[in-house]
Structure 1
Amino acid sequence: METEMNLQPQPHVLLFPFPVQGHIKPMLTLAQLLCHSGIHVTFVNTEHNHLLLTQREALSARFPTLHFHSISDGLPSDHPRSLNPYFIDIVTSLRSKTGPLLHQLLVSLTSKTDVDSAADQLPPLSCVITDGLMCFAIDAADKVGIQVIAVRTSSACSVWCYLCVPKLIEEGQAPFGDEESDKMVLGVPGMEYILRRRDLPSICRAPTNHTVRQFFVEEHIAITRASGLILNTFDELESSVLSHIASKFPKIYAIGPLHALLQSRVGDDDLSSSSAAAASLRREDRRCMMWLDSQEAGSVIFVSYGSLVKLTRVQLLEFWHGLVNSGSPFLWVIRSDVLHSTEVEHANRVTPVELEMGTKERGFIVDWAPQEEVLAHEAVGGFLTHSGWNSTLQAIWAGVPMLCWPQLADQQVNSRWVGEVWKIGVDMKDTCDRATVETMIKALMHGEEREVISRAVDQYAKSARTSVGEAGSSYHNLETLISDLRTLVI
């Protein structure tokens, strides 16, 4: 079969992620899956992130059909490129300046004019797989006559909510004030009596005509022009929601958890962790793994807010007090940029003695951790998370109960599903005080509900493992995607 594959002309696909860690990582995993099947992939990062992705050569050596290319994001070199508070700066520049550059690149790759020395070895481009927040790529691809498949790196349940936001706005259910937060949402088919308004994507809290909300609405209207949609989820987890989304797209490919599917397809026990490290834009502090080795099984609460969430110093201290007072050992990721810019000058204030002492006794703090490995470690018994989708899927795969503190975008929806639908954790949405943090950590780690939650997350972990096996839904859906890509060979 491999000989036949080598004799046939192979597809050449361009992958174009939104320029942040949480989007680049799953799309780079997808790139490796496609390359493992013999497909040529040109992975296009912004120049800024291209330089941060330091293990490009190692990945290309492992997957010879993986080719990296960079493109300007149109921003000055000294721009901080932080989504908070520069989101609109970034997406405006991407649309106006990166869009035309992408079109030029597509022209070069489809016509086989020289883009770089490696381009001579590539077949003509046959498809663009773009991040669903970069839908200007659909226009660029239309101009050169090639198909586009979109990727949303968030959950299916949040994607469906985003697709329904225009209807919610029309019906007056968004935006909403604090006094309306607990009203049930009736305008998202299939989610009746599940969603409260506070559980909607965070853009639904933004005032009328807010530019960020307008951007997300525009992108989720534009995304339906794609010829298909790839989602990092699996049928058994979100089947009912996937059936609703299927009404908007010609084809849906649910192929998650991507990190687990890659390991299953390639069959290398070390691949998952090495690929995760290779896709990271931050340096991991692996000392935490030695610390975990010294802890009792199931005793540690792992805390991480992902790569984007910002905290005030007051919030940081409330979490700190709650963690120390809970009595559980804790591994805490505190990024160097976790504080809001207005709070940085207060960061060096004296830390209360009880927090210093409690951390020395039971805690370990790092700037960034190898999260997939941490969650898989037997010492970890709970995960205090921002409910980003990558983190949520990794916790499900590892069978780790979650305590959810969502802040941005899809995180509000994810946390509701974790607590109310899948019942694999508890939702601490819109709350951040030391007493609540302490109480919820104790409940998650030692409370009466822990056994019920643990059984539920174990069941979903088993379903996830089945989905990426040879007879599984995600494995089959990836085969379908690969087959469809082969039909597009120019």
Structure 2
Amino acid sequence: MEGVERKGRRLLLIPLPLQGHINPMLHLAQILYSNAFSITILHTTFNSPDPSNYPHFNFSCIQEPSSLCLSQSSASHLLNFLLALNAQCVTPFQECVTKLLSEEPQPVACLISDALCYFTQGVADKLRLPRIVLRTGGVSSFVAFAAFPFLRLKGYIPIQDCKLEEAVTEVPPLRVKDLPTVKTEEPEKYYELLHRFVNETKNSLGVIWNSFQELESSALTKLSQEFSFSMPMFPIGPFHKYFPTSSSSSCSSLISQDQSCISWLDKHSPNSVLYVSFGSVAAITETDFLEIAWGLANSNHPFLWVVRPGLIMGSKWLEPLPSGLMENLEGRGLIVKWAPQLEVLAHSAVGAFWTHNGWNSTLESICEGVPMICMPCFTDQKVNARYVSHVWRIGLQLENGVERGEIERAIRRLMDVNAEGKEIRDRALKLKEEVKLCLKTGGSSCSSLEALVTYILSLESSTFQAS
């Protein structure tokens, strides 16, 4: 930001090296840079951001072991990746930060770490460096994560198929099927990950949320009152709405975006297109892929479908797609490998979003007033889907698996001209207005950001002396 006088303080930020975590961390970095902090991004060699997209930031690479990678898109592989990251990055991270602190002429105010990089708390303590956490997911899902020890004690977890529809009365409005679990043959590893993730968040000096007060006020209250989170909490989101859509859409994408879909959308009437995307990590079976394809085709509504290479288990890309299916639609459907999602959701032609309910996608849809069809895959996505469909009531959830008939019915319920679809759309548009208000001067997120800047400036790290 040219012409802004720096506050004489540098911030160190470390994102989790996955697309859905890199984006909000870099958005946060831009927000704080706009508030006159100097920024250094610490990153792994795996999924490293492109420094040329951010010439106003400094970048420093953590030389983690070359074995660190996420080779397959599945909950089990994701779990092992997170455990490996937190085990293997301790020493290289400490060496990197030690070097930066000894060479940096500006005082370092604090470290801002992705909450899932919980290994950073021990290093920060050792180096007497204040650590604030960024939680890239919603507050409501974090409440469920924090409740895991209690939920296990009460017998909700491990989940039993016969209790899927049972209400979890201690964490409303969740049912057993909505709890943020993963399918793994080593559940104790997952429980340990959650324990460390929650506890080291609690041990930090504050939590930044990519959310806003009006959306998740009850969850924020629950964390402070029932789970004794006494540190300051700063719901300053939605991060990406601090900037024009065009400037926040593509710079941090690890996958090349197909811009041609925007000109395709330009040819369609308002609210007529269903946008379908299941994010950067989720994977589906070939059977589910075929049911989705036929459900979309049979709905008779135009659709833009993101099929990421690797989305379909056992396939490189569209090999399982029935021959002639797309051709027979006569241009009513478009499949791309990756889309500029912020631009797509902001496009007037998009009338609904079929999503896996990752937090970024959920929040981006809320910001544009776009109703959702929810198909969560694992962890916090299940909680987000429940809130979308039964708390905020701005979408419908596919409750009975992936079946072409149910898919077609859900699309028609949301996209056809009917009372139910109109009510859902009206609620979504009202929530979009809440987003606009929270970011204005005096709004909840604007005020929370001002409090965060003041808080960071108040932090006094001990004088660092290199060993």
> Scaled by the length of structure 2, what TM-score is found?
0.93
The reply on whether 1:68 has 2:59 as its aligned counterpart is yes
State the aligned residue count: 456
Q: Is the 8 A contact 1:206 1:213 kept in 2?
A: no
2:391 and 2:162 mapped to 1: Cα distance?
24
- CA pair 143-421 structure 1, distance change in 2 beyond 3 A: same
Task: Give percent identity, aligned residues only.
Answer: 33
For 2:38, the equivalent position in structure 1 comes to 40
For 2:465, the equivalent position in structure 1 comes to none
- Report matched runs for 1:254-333 at 5 Å: 254-260=235-241, 262-263=242-243, 271-333=244-306
Shift of residue 13, structure 1, vs aligned partner = 1.2
For 2:125, the equivalent position in structure 1 comes to 142
The reply on whether 1:201 has 2:180 as its aligned counterpart is yes
For 2:422, the equivalent position in structure 1 comes to 451
Residue 12 of structure 1, aligned match among 10, 22, 28? 10
The reply on whether 1:108 has 2:108 as its aligned counterpart is no
SS of 1:198's equivalent in the other structure is: helix
- Report matched runs for 1:13-32 at 5 Å: 13-32=11-30
Q: Is the 8 A contact 2:132 2:206 kept in 1?
A: yes
SS of 1:100's equivalent in the other structure is: helix
Higher alpha-carbon deviation: 141-150 or 212-221: 212-221
SS of 1:173's equivalent in the other structure is: coil
Shift of residue 46, structure 1, vs aligned partner = 1.2
Q: Map Cα deviations across residues 87-107 of structure 1 (whole Å, 9 max, x no partner).
A: 244223322221111111222
SS of 2:419's equivalent in the other structure is: coil
For 2:446, the equivalent position in structure 1 comes to 475
The reply on whether 1:152 has 2:135 as its aligned counterpart is yes
The reply on whether 1:366 has 2:336 as its aligned counterpart is yes
SS of 1:449's equivalent in the other structure is: helix
Q: Which amino acid aligns with 2:10?
A: H
SS of 2:71's equivalent in the other structure is: coil
The reply on whether 1:439 has 2:409 as its aligned counterpart is yes
Structure 2 residues without counterparts, runs of 5 or longer: 462-467
1:346 and 1:488 mapped to 2: Cα distance?
49
- CA pair 400-141 structure 1, distance change in 2 beyond 3 A: same
1:237 and 1:350 mapped to 2: Cα distance?
39
Q: Is the 8 A contact 1:229 1:249 kept in 2?
A: no
- Report matched runs for 1:43-192 at 5 Å: 43-50=41-48, 53-54=49-50, 56-60=51-55, 64=56, 66-76=57-67, 80=71, 82=73, 84-112=75-103, 119=104, 122-188=105-171, 191=172
1:478 and 1:362 mapped to 2: Cα distance?
43
- CA pair 45-406 structure 1, distance change in 2 beyond 3 A: same
Residue 486 of structure 1, aligned match among 452, 457, 462? 457
SS of 1:149's equivalent in the other structure is: strand
Q: Map Cα deviations across residues 182-205 of structure 1 (whole Å, 9 max, x no partner).
A: 0010232xx2xx2111111124x6
2:280 and 2:267 mapped to 1: Cα distance?
27
1:206 and 1:82 mapped to 2: Cα distance?
13
Q: Is the 8 A contact 1:17 1:44 kept in 2?
A: yes
Shift of residue 430, structure 1, vs aligned partner = 4.9
The reply on whether 1:214 has 2:192 as its aligned counterpart is yes
Q: Map Cα deviations across residues 298-341 of structure 1 (whole Å, 9 max, x no partner).
A: 1000000010110111100100000000000000000011012x
Q: Map Cα deviations across residues 194-236 of structure 1 (whole Å, 9 max, x no partner).
A: 2111111124x66774423331233112221011111111001
Shift of residue 175, structure 1, vs aligned partner = 1.4
Displaced runs of 4 or more, over 6 A: none
Q: Which amino acid aligns with 2:432?
A: A
The reply on whether 1:248 has 2:229 as its aligned counterpart is yes
The reply on whether 1:224 has 2:202 as its aligned counterpart is yes
For 1:115, the equivalent position in structure 2 comes to none
For 1:116, the equivalent position in structure 2 comes to none
The reply on whether 1:234 has 2:207 as its aligned counterpart is no
Shift of residue 349, structure 1, vs aligned partner = 4.6
- CA pair 406-78 structure 1, distance change in 2 beyond 3 A: closer
2:113 and 2:27 mapped to 1: Cα distance?
14
RMSD: 2.1
2:266 and 2:316 mapped to 1: Cα distance?
36
Residue 428 of structure 1, aligned match among 388, 394, 398? 398
1:359 and 1:214 mapped to 2: Cα distance?
49
- CA pair 338-163 structure 1, distance change in 2 beyond 3 A: same
- CA pair 130-31 structure 1, distance change in 2 beyond 3 A: same
- CA pair 287-207 structure 1, distance change in 2 beyond 3 A: same
Q: Is the 8 A contact 2:250 2:340 kept in 1?
A: yes
Shift of residue 427, structure 1, vs aligned partner = 1.0
Q: Which amino acid aligns with 2:145?
A: Y
SS of 2:401's equivalent in the other structure is: coil
For 2:464, the equivalent position in structure 1 comes to none
* More helix by percentage: 1
Shift of residue 251, structure 1, vs aligned partner = 0.5
Structure 1 residues without counterparts, runs of 5 or longer: 113-118, 264-270
Q: Map Cα deviations across residues 449-483 of structure 1 (whole Å, 9 max, x no partner).
A: 11100110111100001011112111111111111
1:220 and 1:45 mapped to 2: Cα distance?
22
1:297 and 1:9 mapped to 2: Cα distance?
45
> Scaled by the length of structure 1, what TM-score is found?
0.88
Residue 348 of structure 1, aligned match among 319, 337, 341? 319
Q: Is the 8 A contact 1:10 1:486 kept in 2?
A: no
